[in-house]
A and B are shown apart, each in its own frame.
Chain A
C-alpha cells in the first residue's frame, strides 16, 4: 500500500502541489487526473523519490519513504516500474539491449535466459522481431510499449 500525506512541492516561488493526500491500496488501479500543468508528474516523481517534497511524506507499506537513506530507497525502487512521458529509452542501444539492461545489471542469468525474457516481453507489447531496431526507428506508440522501466521488464 502506498500512502501520500500532505505533499507539497515548490519550484522557485511557484507552488506546484500543496497538501495532496491519497491512499493507494494493493491490487487496485488508481488514477491521478488533472488538467495540464496541475502537477500530476511532479506528484508521481515525489512518490518515487525523483523529487524531494518540501513538506509531507510518502509511505510504502507504512514505512516513510521520504525519510529513508539512499540505500533503503533503492530497495523500494526495485519494486517500482514507471512509464515516462518522453520514452526514456537509451538512444544508442537497440530495443533488445534496452529491455535487457535491467536484467544485465541485476540478474546473474545466462544470456539465453535473458534473451527469452526479452522476447517474451516484446511479444506481449506486439514488438516481435524489433530486437535489433534502435529507438529512433520505432513509432511513438511502440516506444511507449517498451518504455516501462523496472527490474522485471
Chain B
C-alpha cells in the first residue's frame, strides 16, 4: 500500500507544481541558480568520468578483439557506439543521481525540517512551483547538455588512451569514428537523457519535500532518493531500449 500512497503523493506533487508564479523575476533567478548548481556543479565529475570511460572502453575493446581479420578501426566504432548509446547517458545520469539528486533531496529535506517551506507557504508562495519546478526545468535543460559533453569527452578519452598506449593510431581511430555512424543513436541518447533528467530531479524532490523528522531522516531520505532514482533510471533504460532500438 505504501508504494501506491507514494505514487499518489508524487503525482499530486507534480500537479501542484503548475501554478502561476507570484513574481516571474524571482522564479527566473531561482531557475538560473539551479542551472548553475546542476550543470556547472556537476561538470567536473562528468568530465573526469567520461574521459576514463572512453579510455577504458578502448583498452578493453582492443583486448577482446584478437582476430587479425577485424580492422583496428572497429575499436573506434565500438567505443563510439557504446559511449553514445549507453555510457554517456546511463552511467553519467547514475552519477548525477548521486551528485545532483542527493543535493536536491537534502536541500528540500532541510528546508522542510527547519520549517523554511512552511514559512514560504505562510507567505502565500506555492512552494512546489517555486522550489521544485525550477529544479526540474533546470535538470531538463542541463543534463542533456552534460550528456552531450560526456559523449564528446568519452570518445576523445578513447582516442587519447588508444594513441597513448599504441593500440590504435589517431588517424585510424578518426576514420573508424566516421564508419557506419547512425545519427539516430545520438537522438536516442538524448531522449534517454531527458527521461533520466526528469527522474533525477523529480524523485529526490519528492523524497526531500515529504521528509519528516530531523537530520537523520534527511540523510535517509537522501539515500532513498538516490537508490530509487538509480533503479528507475535502469528500468527506464531497458524500457526505452526495448521500445526505440530496432532489433533484427
Contact = CB atoms under 8 A, between A and B. Distances in A.
Contacts of A88: 114-116, 118-119
A50 B125 CA distance: 12
Contacts of B23: 104-106
Contact of A74 (B115, B118, B119, B124): B124
Which residue, B26, B121, B123, has most C-beta atoms of chain A within 10 A? B123
Contacts of A85: 115
A86 interface: yes
Interface residues of B, number: 16
B122 interface: yes
Interface in B111-156: 114-116, 118-119, 121-126
Interface in B191-211: none
A80 B119 CA distance: 11
B123 A77 contact: yes
A82 B122 contact: yes
Given A104-B23, A105-B26, A87 B114 contact: yes
Contact of B122 (A50, A90, A104, A106): A50
Given A104-B26, A105-B22, A106-B23, A150 B118 contact: no
A81 B122 CA distance: 7
Given A78-B124, A102-B123, A105-B123, A84 B22 contact: no
Nearest to A71: B19
Contacts of B123: 77-78, 102, 105-106, 149-151
A85 to B, nearest CB: 7
A84 B121 CA distance: 12
Interface in B4-33: 19, 22-23, 26
Interface residues of A, number: 27
Interface string A34-74: 00000000000100111000000000000000000010001
Contact of A105 (B115, B118, B125): B125
Contacts of A89: 116
Given A104-B26, A105-B22, A106-B23, A84 B119 contact: yes
Contacts of B114: 86-88, 91
B26 A84 contact: no
Contacts of B119: 82, 84, 88, 149
Nearest to A85: B115
A147 B23 CA distance: 22
Interface of B: 19, 22-23, 26, 110, 114-116, 118-119, 121-126
Given A75-B124, A88-B114, A91-B110, 17 more contacts: A45-B118, A48-B122, A70-B19, A74-B126, A78-B123, A78-B124, A82-B119, A84-B118, A87-B115, A88-B115, A88-B116, A102-B123, A105-B22, A106-B22, A106-B123, A149-B123, A150-B123
